[in-house]
Amino acid sequence: MHDLNHFKTAFNGVGWFIPPFVSMGFLNMMYKRIIDSSGAFTQKDLESLLSLIYSPENISAMVVSRYPIVPFINEYKQIIAESIRAHFLGLDHVAVTGLMPVIEGAGINLAKSRSINCEKVSTRKIFISLAEHCKDDAQKYNIGAVGEIISMMDSFKEYADHHLYIESNKYPHTDKTNRHGILHGAYADEDYGEPINFYKAMATVDFLCFISSFRSALSWFAPEETESSKILAGYYQAHRILCLMKPNLEQLNSKTQD
Residue 249's pLDDT band, with cuts at 50, 70 and 90, is low
The pLDDT tens digits for 39-78 are 999 999 999 999 999 999 999 999 999 999 999 999 999 9
Count CB neighbours of 132 within 10 A: 14
Calpha distance 246→258 (Å, rounded): 18
181 CB-near residues (< 8 Å, 6+ apart): 168, 171, 187, 191, 192
**Least confident interval from 3-7, 94-98, 124-128, 247-251:** 247-251
The pTM of the full predicted model, rounded to 2 decimals, is 0.94
SS3 of residue 194 by DSSP? coil
Q: Which amino acid is at 22?
A: V
| Mean pLDDT for all residues in the chain | 94
Residue 252's pLDDT band, with cuts at 50, 70 and 90, is very low
Q: What is the per-residue pLDDT for 217? A: 82
Select from 167, 169, 201 the least CA-distant residue to 93. Answer: 201
What end-to-end distance do the CA atoms of the chain give, in Å? Answer: 69
Calpha distance 139→149 (Å, rounded): 9
Average of per-residue pLDDT across 150-167: 97
The pLDDT tens digits for 202-211 are 999 999 999 9
Residue 168's pLDDT band, with cuts at 50, 70 and 90, is very high
Calpha distance 70→75 (Å, rounded): 9
Average of per-residue pLDDT across 25-49: 98
**Least confident interval from 44-48, 95-99, 109-113, 120-124:** 120-124
